[in-house]
Structure formats: C-alpha cells, structure tokens
Amino acid sequence: MDTQVNPTLQPTTRSVGVRFGLIAALISIVYFLVLNVSGIDMTKGFWNLVGYAITLALVLLAQKQFKDKGDGYMSYGQGVGIAFWMGLISAVISSIFTYIYIKFVDTGFIDLVKERQIEAMQEKGLTDEQIDQGMQMASLFMTPEAMLIFMLIGGVLVSLIIGLIVTIFTQKKNPEPAF
C-alpha cells in the first residue's frame, strides 16, 4: 500500500494561516464586543492575557492541523509562516472592524479610554500638570486612524512573536528532506 502524501493536497502555510486568521478575527471581534458592552477594560491584566492565550491556542491548533493534514512534519520556518499569515489576516480584519466601530458606531469609545488613562494616572499619584502633559501626548495616538495602524502592526507582531516561541517546541523536522 502506498503511504505517500499527494503533494497537490498538502496544506500550505498560507492556506492554514489564512483559515485560522479568519477564525482568530471572528473570535477577536466577538471578544472585543463582549468586553466593550460589559464595560470591561480589555487592555489590562487578566483580560489582556486571555487575548494572548487565545492567539497562542490558535497558533498551536493551526500548526497541528498543518502537520495532521500534511506529511506530519513542519519546519521552523513553516510554523512561523503559519503564525505570520494568521496574525496578518486576523489583524487586518479585526482592525478594520474596530476602526469602523470606533469611528461610526461607538464614537465615545476613545473618550472612555482617555478617562481610564486619567484615572490610572491619578491612582499613581501624578499631579494635574503631569496628567495634562501625558494626555496631550496620548491624544496624538488616540484617534481611530492611529488605533487602526497600531492594531495592524501589534496584531501581526504579537502573532509572530508567539509563533517564533511556540514553533521552537512544535516543529517536527522531516528526517528525509525533499529534493
């Protein structure tokens, strides 16, 4: 019985990464909406860690699917490539959604973020002058457009960093390299 895998049916890093990027984008959007409607600050502590954990789990599942549906092997580069494509697709979709949401649906979102930053600075014991100075600087980056750019870059970088680390442990080198 021939046990060789048909190369035309082999998954590619891009196909697996795009598929899981779409899944990650959907989860990210739902997560954002649930936390936002609940009034939970998703940028701090536990809720931020949950976002990283979701990305980690999806990278692991994507890499597992790549190996399971392919020849059972995955190089370090392939694993990182899967994480890159996943992060890129997820970041583009969820960033565009968030931009539209902040710009047109919940126009008070940025004001809420600013209020939370002021409260955090007050808790640290900063003076009113220091808070004003900090908020002037932060206001430059608190526009829907700036948030879109930072989310795009941040989403890809986080996924890529997670992929770089996770793939160290999930890679499975093919003992018989293809020529």
Question: CA 94, CA 97: separation in Å to the nearest integer?
Answer: 5
**Main-chain phi, psi angles of 12, to 5 degrees:** -105, 160
- The pLDDT of residue 1: 44
Q: Judge whether residue 162 has pLDDT over 70.
A: yes
Q: Judge whether residue 150 has pLDDT over 80.
A: yes
Q: Judge whether residue 68 has pLDDT over 70.
A: yes
- The pLDDT of residue 109: 87
Q: What is the pLDDT of the chain when averaged over all its residues?
A: 89
Which tens digit of pLDDT belongs to each residue from 93-123? 999 999 999 999 998 888 888 888 888 888 8
For residue 86, give both structure tokens.
Answer: 């996943």
- The pLDDT of residue 78: 96
- Nearest residue to 82 (alpha-carbon basis) of 9, 159, 13, 162: 13
Q: What percent of the chain has pLDDT over 90?
A: 61
Q: What average pLDDT does range 146-162 have in this prediction? A: 95
2 band by pLDDT with thresholds 50, 70 and 90: very low
**Main-chain phi, psi angles of 95, to 5 degrees:** -70, -45
Q: What average pLDDT does range 33-45 have in this prediction? A: 84
Q: What angle do CA 168, 27, 36 make, to 5 degrees?
A: 120
Could you tell me which residues are beta bridge partners of residue 63?
none
